[in-house]
Amino acid sequence: MKEFGYRQGGLWNFQSLLDKFIELLGLPETLLDAGCGCGGFPATANNNGIKSVGLEFSQYAIDHAILGAKKCIVKGDVEQPPWPVEGQFDWITFIDVFEHLFEDRVDQVIAEAKKKAKKYIIAKICTAQHPREVWAAKRAPYEQVIEQAKREGFEWLIASGHVCSEMPEWWINKFEDSNWVHRADLAEKLRRILHLPEDWRTTIILENVAQKNVEVPSPMPLTFTSDYYDENYFAKPKGKKYRRSNGLLDGWSYNNPQAEYLGCKNIVESWKKVFQPEKMLDVATGRGTMLAYARDAGINAVGFDYSEYAVKNPYPRCKPEWLIKHDATDPWPYPDQSFDFVTVLDFCEHLYTEDLPFVIKELHRVASKHIFIQTAIPGNSDREYVLEKNKPVPLEIEKYAAAGHLTLLSEAKWEELLEDEQWMRRRDLEAWFKAITQKEAIANWLLNSIMVFGSEIK
């Protein structure tokens, strides 16, 4: 048996915490501390000239409020909006509250907070840090919740009243919308520069950009390097942030933790019929999904990618020896004409134009028979663009750049760049591939460009 309890009687260094928030966000006029416990934070804010209210549903906490706090505490259940407080507040703070809410009430609590907050919502949450810690209690009487926790191995959470244990990204996606922007930069500064304790590692700071003209800083890097293609890019929902045309933040990612793509099997079967490959190179192969399916079909396939995350977290069936980390803008580690089939899938658009001549030269050098290219091209409402290194990404292009698309050209321009005296475009092979491949397997490819080049070397 173990025991748990808060032993400080509601005392903590609230002044230091408030000072850090003010340094970060400026001085508010009003503040609501939702789930305020014994009232330490709103009482401290009142002592600093901030009109503050605490909302608390524990009668014990209210009866044992710290000195000077009882007069600013209103009794009310955060889970039961509308809250019994008048007006709006510059800040609404939640310090160790959301993990105590049943998951089926989280959305309505957040919605109520957004109605009551004018500038910032600050939520410090005890979150799961590993997938094995994710757990949510079903709404039920206390005894039934305890029984569920015991059955599922989470009694240690229930001891402190935690009934909703989710990963940080889950919470961020719950909070963020077109009017409320997650200020990850401020949260990072709060945690690292201001030296808050480790249990503050998940602190979400939302800024209301609907009521004032706030210029949200661009999350785009000046130059897209290999570390851009990280877990947020491949696996986390809306992990890569960008600004929409209205300046508000949104997110994009492949959101594919397992790197699975069932269409690969049908695509590889079509390649076998059309190109009869024996030795294949998949350029910028990502996490190696296509390599595994090609190997299933008896093709000696290898690939490279310059994302460290992709190479260290390959598709489960991709063996390490098939996939290496390499930058396509450096000389490729393969002999001349060493692959009879080279595939370049969703990659050309990720290159800066200044790197294209070298990459195309290497592509032609290592291939001996066929090159299969699938690349993004402008859609009906899009336009061509070219991004440059060390220059800001224009606002109207950020939604494309979030996917790492640095060069968006028409099919005609890509053909002009890729074709030379020894490599001719083979539209007959393109048509054959499209005709025998299931449309659902290549639905996105058909919206883009599929080009096949054949060697004219006799």
What pLDDT is attached to residue 14? 86
Q: Is residue 373 part of a domain?
A: yes
Q: Is residue 249 part of a domain?
A: no
Alpha-carbon 111 to chain mean position: 22
Q: Are 50 and 31 in contact (CB under 8 A)?
A: yes
Strands 30-34 and 89-95, sheet pairing: parallel
89 and 163 inside one domain: yes
90 and 179 inside one domain: yes
193 and 94 inside one domain: yes
Q: What is the CA radius of gyration of the chain?
A: 28
What pLDDT is attached to residue 211? 66
206 and 280 inside one domain: no
441 and 316 inside one domain: yes
277 and 190 inside one domain: no
CATH code of the domain containing 156: 3.40.50.150
Q: Is residue 245 part of a domain?
A: no
Q: Is residue 64 part of a domain?
A: yes
Residue matched to tokens 């580690």: 333
Q: Single out the residue of 234, 205, 201, 199 nearest to residue 305, CA to CA.
A: 234
Q: How far apart are CA 184 and CA 246, in angstroms?
A: 19
Q: Is residue 74 part of a domain?
A: yes
280 and 210 inside one domain: no
Domain of residue 35 covers: 14-214
The answer to whether the bond into 82 is cis (omega within 30° of 0) is: yes
What pLDDT is attached to residue 383? 86
The pTM for the full model equals 0.60
Q: Is residue 4 part of a domain?
A: no
Which of 154, 179, 214 corresponds to the end of one domain? 214
What pLDDT is attached to residue 393? 95
> Which of the 8 DSSP states describes residue 193?
I
Q: How far apart are CA 229 and CA 235, in angstroms?
A: 10
Q: Is residue 1 part of a domain?
A: no
Q: Single out the residue of 429, 452, 433, 451 nearest to residue 442, CA to CA.
A: 433
324 and 208 inside one domain: no
What is the CB neighbour count within 10 angstroms for residue 142? 8
**What's the number of domains the chain is made of?**
2
Per-position pLDDT tens, the chain of length 458: 555 455 554 456 788 889 888 988 999 999 999 999 999 999 999 999 999 999 999 999 999 998 889 999 999 999 999 999 999 999 999 999 999 999 999 999 999 999 999 999 999 999 888 888 899 999 999 999 999 999 999 988 888 889 999 998 899 989 988 889 889 888 888 777 666 666 566 889 999 987 655 567 889 999 999 999 999 999 988 899 998 876 777 889 999 999 999 899 999 999 999 999 999 999 999 999 999 999 999 999 999 999 999 999 999 999 999 999 999 999 999 999 999 999 999 999 999 999 999 999 999 999 999 999 999 999 866 789 999 999 999 998 999 999 999 999 999 999 999 988 899 999 999 999 999 999 999 999 999 999 999 997 54
Using N-to-C axis directions, what is the helix angle for 263-275 and 427-436, rounded to 10°? Answer: 140
Which of 214, 248, 275 corresponds to the end of one domain? 214
282 and 422 inside one domain: yes
What pLDDT is attached to residue 458? 43
Which of 155, 180, 214 corresponds to the end of one domain? 214
What pLDDT is attached to residue 5? 53
What pLDDT is attached to residue 50? 94
What pLDDT is attached to residue 187? 84
180 and 74 inside one domain: yes
- What does each C-alpha distance from 329 to 225, 290, 367, 389, 454 come to in angstroms? 11, 22, 17, 14, 23
What pLDDT is attached to residue 4? 44
31 and 130 inside one domain: yes
